[in-house]
């Protein structure tokens, strides 16, 4: 039996949907021409109004259909060029109806979902902010904020907090996965940026990649469950332990309060006095000490408690390597640019910096390849098990989880799953009629054909959007590139999942190889190849997001189907909320400057331009010295790449982070100086504990370190909250002053 909803909930929804219908009707009347998407939107509002008044709460199948219908309506409206605010309102209305009329069960409760959305907005903003500032992202603090909010709304449970983390971090990972495309276009193709970078474009690219990418690795879930996942286990321990420590809330609140007041007051002061710049020191003293104006605002110390706290979570060794990279960047400014007053965007365009970073990245790729030698992959393991000539006294393989008799037909039927359409049709019927029963029957196993179907859907929609209708400023991606290039992400996602499950580091390079033939063979424009590559990267990140949180759920006792639903909610939040945050930052601050230098986009844009130059037998950077001998210029630039490669290789030999060196070269030196404060705190704590060298990556159970972690997690969240609320405060005060 479906439970009756309360009259208050129905009345609230009815009022909202009736208002939505009136606005849609007003928009239709005021438009010069009839927008079919708005007519459909008005019909949706009427249907939702009727369902809210007399309808029954939707079951799980109906919830799935409502969610997919919302995305389909939004996608078709965008592709056909009929997108408007009425479309957004109707699509959100469907999701709102599904959320408020449903009857969720523990741990996917409304309390957990609501908390996840609140924390997700904060964490998504944080992820986008840090990615645009530093180029790398560390997802910390979601479990702290989740525990804090859940505890104020009832009894804390680790299972509900796991749902919160899955929603929040899933939203962040998905929004960031596609982020590189927008600043890259704004920086390297500014003539077309204004017509391309719109909210519909950002939401469409994010949503398509997220929804199609989630299921890519789901059929291979069992292959990764027994891996160590070094970044997930400490988070699981934290989620479980938070329920037993009342002081954790006070420490998180203290950090949030201090950071919120500091950053909020600075932002409000800048809002009322645009000539006052408090983003960094000593530049903040420019009105008191005029001589400071001769120093660029990216030299000094960034006024950001969040950036400083990130040094603690990175670890002092990584911070030192990152700071060394910024010192190199500083000396390039002093020696090669004559310590002139230049913007950070112009400074980052120096070819010496980019060749140096490319050399370091080359060393990382080579190290990843070499480190994989000597490991037994799944195929080698299967061969070893099936090899009857294996000597028992030398090569002993123990299988501690033998196959059940009931699983033999499924295991032997893998080939049938792929090629027997009758079996696929049978699976589809069972999934549609009883998805819960199907997953219970298969012990959570998703058939492998689901990944291929998801990829086919991605290809079809991408072809409609970028090869046929082209609603985003005429942006076109070649037909063959979409068809031939998209399947490569299946392999890239698999090897990236192996890397992160074994080492905790997210390092996927295979999909980037597509850029070489795409540019040299198809002669693709900058905006097109950047969009396509970012969509493939987002597909991969969405798949990883599901695997990561499935492992987290396994460690905290949350079922896989609940985790999948939470990640899907995070995908919706990242699509609509994350896209809005990205667009507002672009429209307000732009990309490539001191505020948001977007170093990852700078590097990727440079790679694309380099490949295009190779097609014309010309390396980037030659234009700076047009009258110089090309051979000498070539030797000069390549020497920086070689230096970066050698430096990265030496760091790898010493078990230090080479990628941190590249990041340090690409971010403002003021940011790396601020991170030193967090690194010093980490060093002091580890020194007091007398940690052995081989234990650096262990999550320590030390009370002082735990308190510091909670305090700085609050600092991270406090700055994000201040950034979100300060414009609202400024606008409110200005509005009141005008009355």
Report domain extents, the chain: 1-103
Predicted local distance difference test score (pLDDT) of residue 122: 86
Q: How far apart are CA 184 and CA 186, in angstroms?
A: 5
390 C-beta neighbours (distance < 10 Å), count? 13
For 174, left (φ over 0), alpha (ψ -120 to 50), or beta? alpha
Q: What is the pLDDT of residue 388?
A: 45
Q: What is the mean pLDDT of residues 76-85?
A: 83
Compare 697 and 666 and report the one with higher pLDDT: 666
Per-residue pLDDT for 559 more than 80? Answer: yes
Q: 669-689 vs 703-738: helix axis angle to the nearest 10?
A: 150
The answer on pLDDT for 394 being more than 60 is no
Per-residue model confidence (pLDDT) at position 692: 43
Which residues make Cβ contacts (< 8 Å) with residue 335, sequence separation at least 6? none
Task: Provide the pLDDT for residue 614.
Answer: 59
Helix (H) or strand (E) holding 543: helix 526-556
Torsion angle of the four alpha carbons 138, 143, 145, 150, in this order, in degrees rounded to the nearest 10: 160
Does residue 447 have a pLDDT over 90?
no
* pLDDT at 525 (0 to 100): 81
The answer to whether the Cα torsion of 290, 292, 294, 298 is positive or negative is: negative
Lowest mean pLDDT: which of 414-428, 481-495, 586-600?
414-428
DSSP, residue by residue, 428-473: HHHHHH-HHHHHHHTTTPPPTHHHHHHHHHHHHHHHIIIIII-TTT
| Residue-level pLDDT at 311 | 85
Closest by Cα among 725, 720, 710 to 148:
710
Average pLDDT of the chain, as a whole number: 78
pLDDT at 74: 84
Indicate the SS3 state at residue 302.
strand
Max avg pLDDT among 54-68, 302-316, 577-591, 627-641: 577-591
Token pair for 23: 């606005």
pLDDT in tens, 137-174: 655 668 878 888 888 878 889 999 999 999 999 999 88
Tokens of 702: 């030390």
Name the pLDDT band for 81 (thresholds 50, 70, 90): confident
Helix (H, G, I), strand (E, B) or coil at 115: helix
Please determine, for residue 404, whether its predicted confidence score (pLDDT) is greater than 60. no
Rounded mean pLDDT, 658-673: 86
Span 470-489, mean pLDDT? 87
Confidence tier at 84 by pLDDT (50, 70, 90): confident
- pTM for the structure as a whole: 0.73
The most confident of the ranges 473-477, 717-721, 722-726 is: 473-477
Burial of 60 (C-beta count, 10 Å sphere; 0-12/13-18/19+): middle
Segments of 233-285 assigned E as strands: 280-281
At residue 615, does pLDDT exceed 60?
no
Average pLDDT of span 181-207: 88
Q: Note the pLDDT of residue 422.
A: 61
* CA–CA distances in Å: residue 223 to residues 220, 279, 565: 6, 47, 21
Eight-state DSSP code of residue 48:
H
Give residue 408's pLDDT. 43
CA 556/CA 558 separation, integer angstroms: 6
Of 455-464, 494-503, 717-726, give the lowest mean pLDDT range. 494-503
pLDDT of residue 693: 42
Q: Where are the alpha helices (DSSP H) in 55-109?
A: 60-79, 85-101
Rounded distance between C-alpha atoms, residue 489 and residue 720, angstroms = 33
Q: Residue 431: pLDDT band by 50, 70, 90 thresholds?
A: low
Per-residue pLDDT averaged across 119-126, rounded? 88
| pLDDT for residue 517 | 62
Given a cut of 70, whether residue 9 has pLDDT beyond it is yes
* Phi/psi of residue 537, nearest 5 degrees: -65, -40
The secondary structure of the chain in percent helix, strand, coil, rounded to multiples of 5, reads 75, 0, 25
Find the mean pLDDT for residues 288-293.
80
18 CB burial (10 A radius; 0-12, 13-18, 19+): middle
Mean per-residue pLDDT, 553-581: 90
168: nearest Cα among 152, 148, 184, 183? 148
pLDDT at 564 over 80: yes
**Position with higher pLDDT, 609 vs 55:** 55
Summarised one tens digit per residue, pLDDT across range 699-709 is 445 678 878 88
**In this predicted structure, what is the pLDDT of residue 54?**
85
Contact 70, 95 (CB under 8 A): yes
Report phi then psi at 604, rounded to 5.
-65, -40
Q: Which of 35-44, 52-61, 80-89, 604-613 has the lowest mean pLDDT?
A: 604-613
**Lowest-confidence region among 390-404, 490-504, 692-706:** 390-404
User: For residues 101 and 518, which has the higher predicted lDDT (pLDDT)?
Assistant: 101
Cis, bond preceding 99 (omega within 30 deg of 0): no
Between residues 10 and 591, the one the model is more confident about: 591
pLDDT at 680 over 80: yes
pLDDT of residue 673: 92
The residue among 49 and 445 whose pLDDT is bigger is: 49
């Amino acid at each position: 039996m479906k439970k009756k909803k309360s009259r208050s909930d129905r009345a609230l929804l009815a009022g909202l949907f009736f208002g939505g219908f009136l606005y849609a009707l007003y928009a239709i009347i005021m438009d010069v021409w009839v927008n079919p998407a708005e007519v459909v939107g008005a019909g949706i509002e009427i249907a939702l109004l009727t369902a809210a008044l007399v309808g029954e709460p939707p079951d799980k199948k109906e919830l799935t259909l409502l969610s997919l219908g919302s995305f389909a309506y939004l996608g078709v409206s965008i592709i056909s060029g009929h997108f408007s605010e009425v479309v957004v309102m109707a699509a959100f209305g469907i999701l709102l109806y599904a959320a408020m009329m449903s009857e969720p069960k523990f741990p996917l409760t409304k309390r957990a979902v609501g908390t996840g959305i609140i924390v997700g907005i904060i964490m998504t903003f944080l992820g986008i902010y840090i990615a645009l500032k530093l180029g790398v992202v560390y997802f910390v603090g979601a479990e702290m904020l989740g525990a804090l909010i859940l505890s104020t709304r009832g009894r804390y449970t680790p299972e509900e907090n796991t749902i919160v983390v899955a929603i929040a971090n899933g939203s962040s990972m998905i929004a960031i996965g596609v982020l590189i495309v927008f600043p890259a276009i704004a920086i390297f193709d500014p003539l077309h940026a204004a017509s391309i970078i719109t909210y519909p474009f950002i939401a469409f690219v994010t949503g398509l990649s997220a929804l199609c990418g989630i299921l890519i690795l789901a059929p291979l879930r069992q292959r990764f469950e027994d891996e160590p996942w070094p970044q997930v286990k400490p988070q699981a321990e934290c989620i479980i332990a938070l329920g037993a420590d009342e002081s954790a809330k006070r420490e998180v609140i203290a950090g949030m309060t201090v950071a919120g007041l500091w950053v909020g007051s600075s932002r409000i002061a800048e809002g009322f006095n645009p000539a006052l710049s408090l983003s960094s020191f000593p530049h903040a003293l420019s009105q008191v000490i005029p001589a400071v104006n001769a120093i660029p605002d990216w030299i000094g110390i960034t006024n950001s408690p969040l950036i400083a706290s990130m040094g603690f979570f990175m670890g002092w060794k990584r911070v030192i390597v990152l700071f060394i990279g910024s010192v190199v960047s500083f000396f390039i400014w002093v020696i090669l640019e004559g310590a002139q007053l230049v913007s950070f965007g112009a400074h980052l365009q120096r070819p010496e910096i980019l060749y140096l970073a490319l050399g370091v990245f080359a060393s990382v790729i080579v190290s990843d390849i070499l480190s994989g030698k000597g490991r037994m992959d799944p195929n080698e393991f299967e061969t070893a098990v099936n090899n009857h000539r294996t000597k028992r006294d030398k090569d002993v393989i123990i299988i501690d989880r033998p196959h059940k008799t009931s699983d033999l037909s499924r295991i032997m039927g893998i080939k049938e799953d792929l090629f027997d359409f009758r079996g696929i049709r049978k699976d589809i019927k069972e999934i549609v009629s009883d998805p819960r029963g199907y997953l219970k029957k298969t012990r959570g196993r998703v058939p492998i054909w689901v990944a291929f179907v998801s990829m086919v859907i991605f290809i079809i929609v991408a072809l409609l959007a970028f090869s046929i209708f082209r609603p985003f400023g005429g942006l076109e991606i070649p037909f063959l590139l979409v068809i031939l290039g998209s399947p490569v992400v299946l392999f890239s996602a698999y090897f990236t999942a192996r890397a992160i499950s074994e080492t905790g580091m997210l390092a996927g390079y295979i999909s980037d190889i597509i850029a070489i033939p795409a540019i040299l063979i198809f002669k693709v424009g900058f905006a097109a190849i950047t969009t396509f590559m970012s969509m493939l990267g987002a597909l991969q990140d969405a798949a990883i997001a599901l695997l990561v949180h499935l492992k987290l759920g396994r460690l905290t006792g949350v079922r896989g189907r609940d985790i999948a639903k939470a990640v899907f909610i995070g995908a919706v939040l990242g699509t609509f909320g994350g896209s809005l945050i990205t667009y507002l930052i672009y429209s307000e601050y732009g990309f490539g400057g001191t505020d948001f230098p977007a170093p990852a986009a700078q590097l990727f844009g440079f790679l694309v331009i380099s490949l295009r130059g190779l097609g014309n037998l010309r390396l980037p950077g030659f234009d700076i010295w047009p009258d110089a001998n090309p051979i000498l210029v070539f030797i000069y630039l390549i020497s920086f790449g070689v230096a970066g490669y050698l430096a990265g290789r030496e760091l790898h030999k010493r078990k230090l982070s080479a990628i941190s060196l590249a990041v340090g070269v690409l971010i403002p030196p003021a940011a790396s100086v601020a991170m030193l404060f967090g690194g010093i705190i980490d060093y002091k704590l580890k020194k007091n504990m007398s940690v052995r060298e081989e234990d650096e990556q262990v999550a320590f159970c030390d009370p002082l370190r735990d308190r510091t972690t909670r305090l700085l997690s609050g600092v991270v969240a406090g700055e994000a909250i201040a950034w979100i609320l300060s414009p609202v405060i400024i606008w409110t005060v200005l509005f009141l002053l005008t009355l």
